Copies of this chain bind each other. A is one copy, B any other.
């Protein structure tokens, strides 16, 4: 039998309808046509999705595992997403819950090129959790953002990422911003992580420009850029570490641990940002824990990706968050540090000190 991999969908259905619905998804996510119209035995055998098993999860939802043919992916990131959830994403009774990534797919995509170890090297931090803040608001000119970056760096933060809303706008064009921020951080260990935007051509030019300025880590939103775009960048710039932003990630229709913890990593994200529980977003503690564990769990030969909980975090929550996620984590506090305004450097220093001094329960 040709190579297949297992995909789990959570499907709202009744006990009477689930078998037919599962079979319909298997067809939708492979050949998308009536099987009676297929007269080629090898396609029915090797290409059409097959329902592997169905488990009643209670509450009217069933876990349906479908074996899809690896050959349908053709090694392309967007096509992976297309085969996993292209048309089914348009049907409101189904959630993409998990993918059991086979070794062949892991090799084809390659996963993080740097992973947790590569990010730790950048921060010269062997064991403690890493720290990150965010440059915002958009609308500030490049030199104001650079001044902010310098103050964060004085507070000892490991990484400073662009707000994911920063693109190539007139008020702080990418080139001006990167040059100004890189200059502001020269002599610091703190890494500036600029946000890529635009087409693959634009992003490639941005990475080159950033690399010329000494940048070795960049931010990308895979669902906005397109999975194939990210895949191409990761392959083109093996010396650059990639942080993935969950923007446009949808709620609940793709399990966040799968999308952010597994698929972003598969594409090559070295660090994955996600909205942690208790902040502005609806992810539960269980979802967050699974996401972080998935990003770090053994997966063939892939390097682990660093989980980056974010989204409404505060200094007061640092101990709780560290105990929850453990040290192989990067804490990202943005707006809450910026609230300190004149005391930004001191607040950042308190943040980094608290992370460094934390004793895990």
Contact = CB atoms under 8 A, between A and B. Distances in A.
B249 A89 contact: yes
Given A71-B170, A165-B82, A168-B76, A281 B91 contact: yes
Q: Which 10 A-B pairs have the closest CB atoms?
A: A226-B226, A33-B335, A31-B137, A47-B139, A86-B247, A43-B139, A92-B251, A200-B200, A199-B232, A37-B338
Residue among A71, A134, A169, A199 having the largest count of chain B Cβ atoms under 10 Å: A199
Contact of A165 (B37, B72, B339): B72
A212 B227 CA distance: 28
B229 A335 contact: no
A253 B83 CA distance: 20
Q: For this complex, into which size category does the number of interface residues on chain A fall?
A: 35 or more
Contacts of A78: 197-198, 221, 224-225
Contacts of A249: 89-90
A251 B92 CA distance: 5
A280 interface: yes
Contacts of A226: 199, 224-226, 228-229
Contacts of A275: 87, 90
Interface in A30-79: 30-34, 36-40, 42-43, 46-48, 71-74, 76, 78-79
A229 B86 CA distance: 18
Contacts of A283: 90
Given A37-B339, A91-B282, 9 more contacts: A33-B137, A33-B335, A37-B340, A39-B341, A43-B137, A43-B140, A71-B170, A79-B197, A86-B224
A265 interface: no
Nearest to A141: B40
Given A30-B165, A224-B81, A224-B82, A251 B89 contact: yes
Contacts of A38: 137
A278 interface: no
A301 interface: no
B31 A81 contact: no
A85 interface: yes
A154 interface: no
A23 interface: no
